[in-house]
Chain A
Amino acid sequence: MKWNIYKLITTMFMIVGGIIFLIPFIWMLSASLKPEAEVFSYPIQWIPSVFMWENYTAVWTGEFLLAYWNSIKVTVITTVIAVTFSSMAAYGFSKIQFKGRDILFLLILATFMIPAQAILVPQFIIYQYLNLFDTHMGLILLNSFSVFGTFLLRQFYISIPDDYIHSAKIDGAGHFTIFTRIITPMVLPGIATYAILVFIFTWNDYQGPLIFLRSDHLSTIQIYIAKFASESGIMYSLTMAGTVSAIFPLILAFILGQRYVIEGMASSGVKG
């Protein structure tokens, strides 16, 4: 393979730029290994004076693994449900003609515009009524119906030419077959991207479990990490050790998901 000089220069620039994008993460790593008093010392001390691996051992004890497992469970199930429902709805809103479709879509879109804080109390009342309060099922359902995801995927579905559907119909295929076998594989980059996003949203969700869960044994990882606080405030070194520990599933999800983005690219005949 030949090295292209322009490509090399661009790569250099992007590496410099990339460092800027990594700074918060580097700060997290560094803070997670510092003694508490050093976390906010100024100017920033990127390399801790002593490496406090104890921060990690302090985090990885007790119920941390249970909280980790709870988060994995809730996040994976939410992701699967949300992707399924959103892609179905996106297909319906883009590739099936029915009366009032666009108005219905706008109406659904409008539900995304209400601030979460405004409907928290009514949601809570409904949850009590449906016995979903303080259950993982309730937490999962909370993030499973995504207007955001539907809109995102709709934009992907809509750019697939209708000819594919017509020819499939002539071959006798129904919408279900067209949806699962023909169109969805074509928007795999979109699906994978949305799956990554929903995974991250759910994994990082703090407000949801804070309000809708109470039992300790149901606690998710974000709630658990927030417990590293003393009477006079947050213990940032421990919190960051927890946050860094909790970031790996996100990176994993991202890398796995990105493979599908690239595979999808191959299937639609576009080369990177």
Chain B
Amino acid sequence: MKKKLVLLLLFVGFIALLAACGNNGASDASNEGDSNAGEGNKDPVTINLHHWYNEEQDNWHAVIEAFEEEHPHIKVNTITTGNNNSQENREQVDITAASGGKLDVIMLSNEADLNQRVAYGMFEPLNDYIEKVGLNMEETFLVDQSIDGVYYSLPAKYSMMFVMLNKDALDEAGLDIPKEWTWDEFMEYAAALTQGEGSNKRYGTYFEWWPFYRTLALTNHEDAGYVKPDGKTSNMDHPMFRKSLEIRERGEQEGWATPHADVIGAGLNYRTEYFNQRAAMLVTGSFMVAEAGGVPGSPSEFTTAFAPIPTSVKGDPITSGGGVETISIYSGSEHKDEAFEFIYWYTTKGIHLQGKYIPATAGTDYKDIVQRLLEDSPAPEKVDIDSLVHTLEVTNVMRPLIVPYQPELDSVVQNLTDEFLLGSEDMDTTIEKVHQRVQQVIDENN
């Protein structure tokens, strides 16, 4: 009897679920069918905006509201993975493009992703639109993202590479906050900041597994891509690539950098290593600014100061590859004019209003933006604002050649240098192998 009752309940529950599901399906369909082409000019046009940020955390609702108020003829429909994972957003966008789905405005996290897709005609050239509104690209933005003179994007959020330093550790070791420095000085600092032994050891610095950390010394060189500016030859015989590997080799041998084997073998994470004071310095990007005082629930226990990315030669200009995020228009969009209105407004006004990202516009008030970035910080007093603002101000954007097959080259550099960093291959062989393999990939793609 009891069993029958349970079965009956299960059955009823199932039917209810089915019904609920059916309803949802129906309402979705009606929601989707509201594209209103040719319905007279009273109804606003809806454009889809694809990104990966969390709308609540990052003030997106306010941004969209402000835009829609200023532009009543446009409605923005945000589609976000919401998890800060730009790769997953990119996959969603790519797959939607493959099926001819409705795409309008697309954000990407870096120029490599942009170039890769421009090569397949995914994005609308913007030169005509830019001319029409009289937008002066050079004066407005810090960076030029054009490809062979054609703009396919406007620069959105600006990320530069810099160094975070544990100021308490600096004081202890009697070191100043560097205003500008070289990689050799960086290494001296790292050695001086190393302390202790065994599992309690605090290393001078921590290098994440990313390919970027295998080409550190290349960052402030004009010809610093994997490929030489001619677009046809491998650049991995560049002396600064050797220099980069030397930095890493010394870090391993002199014991001032967390061993690479621990980094990849134990799956360490740069935030944890730095904030738990197992590494005193961190070469990282401005995406860390908001967290420099810790995250909610875990306020930082020490003060963080900032220094610009080191240069390879004293007095060289301070430039960072970093990345400026891109915001583009899908080439198959039905509402390109409206889409451009949005990206123009967002990159020049919206992003300032939002106050959650460092804009790529020229003349940004860094002090103001830093203070706004730290609004949610549990310990803003643990962030040395002066050195941070100084760092943001003196660092210039460097734009090495980026090829459409950049991810493939990243993978080559990462994998082949792994052997070197783990000590199972010597430097000359590694450089030779990387150089050859990069050339091979270039040839395959040309």
Contact = CB atoms under 8 A, between A and B. Distances in A.
Do any CB atoms of chain A lie under 8 A from CB atoms of chain B in the complex?
Answer: yes
Categorize the interface residue count of chain B.
35 or more
Interface stretch (A36-44, A91-99, A151-159): A36-44
Contacts of B32: 134
A137 B287 contact: no
Nearest to A79: B14
B36 interface: no
A232 B22 CA distance: 39
Contact of B20 (A41, A43, A73, A133): A73
Contacts of B96: 124
Contacts of A76: 13-14, 17
Interface in A90-147: 120-121, 124-125, 127-128, 131, 133-137, 140
A77 interface: yes
A231 B290 contact: yes
B95 interface: yes
Nearest to A215: B28
Nearest to A136: B21
B25 interface: yes
Given A77-B18, A230-B295, A232-B291, A210 B24 contact: no
A40 B268 contact: yes
Question: Interface SS of chain B: helix, strand, loop or mixed?
Answer: helix
B92 A37 contact: no
A232 B287 contact: yes
Contact of B83 (A131, A137, A140, A227): A227
Interface in B267-294: 268-269, 271-272, 275-276, 287-288, 290-291, 294
A55 B83 CA distance: 17
Contact of A218 (B24, B101, B295): B24
Nearest to A39: B272
A160 interface: no
Nearest to B94: A121
A63 to B, nearest CB: 10
Contacts of B272: 37, 39-41
A121 B290 CA distance: 37
Which of A80, A124, A127, A231 has the most C-beta atoms of chain B within 10 angstroms of its own C-beta? A231
Which of A80, A120, A232 has the most C-beta atoms of chain B within 10 angstroms of its own C-beta? A232
A214 B92 CA distance: 9
Contact of B28 (A55, A62, A134): A134
B50 to A, nearest CB: 9
B21 A120 contact: no
A54 interface: yes
A226 interface: yes
B79 interface: yes
Contacts of A226: 81, 83, 85
Given A40-B268, A77-B17, A214-B79, A230 B84 contact: yes
Nearest to B88: A210
A38 B56 CA distance: 25
A263 B294 CA distance: 53
Contacts of A200: none
A211 B294 contact: no
Nearest to B6: A256
A37 B291 CA distance: 11
A74 B54 CA distance: 24
Contacts of A73: 17, 20-21
Interface in A30-55: 35-43, 52, 54-55
A229 interface: yes
B29 interface: yes
Interface in B77-134: 79, 81-85, 88, 91-92, 95-96, 98-101
A202 interface: no
B345 to A, nearest CB: 23
A77 B290 CA distance: 43
B28 A227 contact: no
A38 B17 contact: no
Contact of B294 (A37, A134, A229): A37
A237 interface: yes
B199 interface: yes
Contacts of A227: 54, 82-83
A235 interface: yes
B17 A125 contact: no
Nearest to B272: A40
Nearest to A131: B29
A231 B92 contact: no
A40 to B, nearest CB: 4
Nearest to B300: A37
Nearest to B18: A77
A245 to B, nearest CB: 17
B399 to A, nearest CB: 22
B174 interface: no
Contacts of B100: 128
Given A39-B272, A77-B18, A137-B25, A210 B81 contact: yes
B92 A77 contact: no
Given A210-B81, A230-B295, 19 more contacts: A36-B295, A36-B297, A36-B298, A37-B275, A38-B298, A40-B268, A54-B297, A62-B56, A73-B20, A73-B21, A74-B21, A120-B95, A124-B95, A131-B29, A137-B21, A214-B79, A226-B83, A230-B84, A233-B271
17 contacts: A37-B298, A42-B266, A54-B297, A73-B21, A76-B14, A77-B18, A80-B14, A131-B29, A133-B101, A134-B32, A210-B91, A211-B91, A215-B31, A218-B24, A226-B85, A229-B54, A230-B57
Interface of A: 35-43, 52, 54-55, 62, 73-74, 76-77, 80, 120-121, 124-125, 127-128, 131, 133-137, 140, 210-211, 214-216, 218, 223, 226-233, 235, 237
Interface of B: 13-14, 17-18, 20-22, 24-25, 28-29, 31-32, 53-54, 56-57, 79, 81-85, 88, 91-92, 95-96, 98-101, 199, 266, 268-269, 271-272, 275-276, 287-288, 290-291, 294-295, 297-298
